[in-house]
Amino acid sequence: MNKKKILITGVAGFIGFSLANKLLNNDYTIYGLDNINNYYDVKLKKKRISFLKEKFKNNFKFKLLDISDTKKINNFFSKHSFEKVFHFAAQAGVRYSLYHPEKYLNSNLVGFSNIIFNCKKKKIKHLIYASSSSVYGANKKIPYKEKHEVSLPMQYYAATKISNELIAQSYSSLYKLKCTGLRFFTVYGPWGRPDMSIYKFVDSIIKNKPIEVYNNGNHSRDFTYIDDTIKLTLGVANSNIYFDKNRYHRILNIGHGKPTPLKKFIKIIEIKTKKKFKIILKPKQKGDMIRTYACTNKLNKIIKLKNKTSLDTGISKFINWYKEYIFEKIY
């Protein structure tokens, strides 16, 4: 295979890092951008980058760069060309957006505009960007289908992701720039974010700390293991299904298509760790969606996983990784 140049923004993030690792193992040359902000543990982000640098010395090129810095982003693109761009850099966190909207404005709107502008200018063959299942907001139709209404976001974070989809639609129409928006559902697994439920729960049960559970644990989520997420992402990125001479933008759900109650998720962690949680019950929070899961009919026409990772297996793998990571941090 010829070494093809791919750009991944947000390469120090959970999904960006995992995608880079997969592509580098397949002999691609990866350029990675990230500003390594302090939204969560900077040490974890730096550890991800160090892992890629050490394992793939020649094929991984990292640059510390904020995508909202228009001048520096324009300068970076002026020096490089890429076959594809995976734009996964964003200010993450649904609840965090309630208190820090300015961070989402800079990264998710200004930053996205900078990336797509340069993709158009450099005539990139395909821009694949991260949207979110949160765009479905107050939509009460379950499972969520790509054709469902997304004009009722319940958080500022979701509103910025809807804006990304609209910007991509306009660019694809005006300039015939191929764009694919991926509405990721609840991704989990090794190297995951500390603000995500599985990390919080495993960290708490191992350290004998209580956990806060909202709405009596009656939330349900479409938990999708990271390796499955990457397989689906690459399957979509390498396919032209749903593109034609009049359509250059497509939206796809990335999930397993099966909701799991948080109570069951918690129970599996207890079984795997052979410990019991200390639970503090909290009321439902503003902006929380009770039940979310993907309709994957559209996705399945492109790629259908033969062997999806079960929750039992995925949670076990995360716990094993967590113990190794924490051991390294402490010792």
Is pLDDT of 178 > 80? yes
Query: Is 39 domain-assigned?
Result: yes
Between CA 62 and CA 2 the distance in angstroms is: 20
- Assigned domain for 233 exists: yes
pLDDT of residue 216: 84
- Residue from 96, 136, 144, 157 carrying the catalytic annotation: 157
Which of 168, 76, 85, 89 has its CA nearest to residue 130? 89
253 pLDDT band (50/70/90 cuts)?
very high
Q: What pLDDT sits at residue 289?
A: 73
Q: Could you tell me what percent of the chain has a pLDDT over 70?
A: 97
271 belongs to a structural domain: no
- For residue 241, tell me if it sits in a domain: yes
Model pLDDT, residue 217: 85
pLDDT of 327 reads 65
Model's pTM, two decimal places? Answer: 0.94
pLDDT at residue 78 greater than cutoff 50: yes
Q: Does the residue 264 lie in any domain?
A: no
Res. 155 pLDDT band, cuts 50 70 90 = confident
Count: domains in the chain: 1
Q: Look up the CATH number of the domain holding residue 46.
A: 3.40.50.720
pLDDT digits (tens, 9 = 90+) for 92-125: 887 788 788 888 999 999 999 999 999 999 999 9
**Looking at residue 331, what is its pLDDT?**
34
What's residue 312's pLDDT? 97
Report residue 215's pLDDT band, with 50, 70 and 90 as the boundaries: confident
pLDDT at 277: 96
What residue numbers bound the domain in which 48 lies?
5-188+225-256+293-308
Evaluate if residue 295 carries a pLDDT over 90. Answer: yes
Asked if residue 45 is part of any domain, the answer here is yes
Residue 245 has what pLDDT?
87
Q: What pLDDT, on the 0 to 100 scale, is given for residue 258? A: 93
3-state secondary structure the chain: CCCCEEEEECCCCHHHHHHHHHHHHCCCEEEEEECCCCCCCHHHHHHHHHHHHHHCCCCEEEEECCCCCHHHHHHHHHHCCCCEEEECCCCCCCHHHHCCHHHHHHHHHHHHHHHHHHHHHCCCCEEEEECCHHHHCCCCCCCECCCCCCCCCCCHHHHHHHHHHHHHHHHHHHHCCCEEEEEECCEECCCCCCCCHHHHHHHHHHCCCCEEEEHHHCCEECCEEHHHHHHHHHHHHCCCCCCECCECEEEEEECCCCCEEHHHHHHHHHHHHCCCCCEEEECCCCCCCCECCECCHHHHCCCCCCCCCCHHHHHHHHHHHHHHHHHHHHC
Q: Give the contacts of 4 (CB within 8 A, at least 6 positions apart).
A: 28, 29, 83
Please say if the pLDDT value at position 1 is more than 50: no
Whether 270 is covered by a domain: the verdict is no
157 is annotated as an active-site residue:
yes
Is residue 278 in a domain?
A: no
Task: Reply yes or no on whether the pLDDT at 70 is more than 90.
Answer: yes
Structure tokens belonging to residue 247: 């359509």
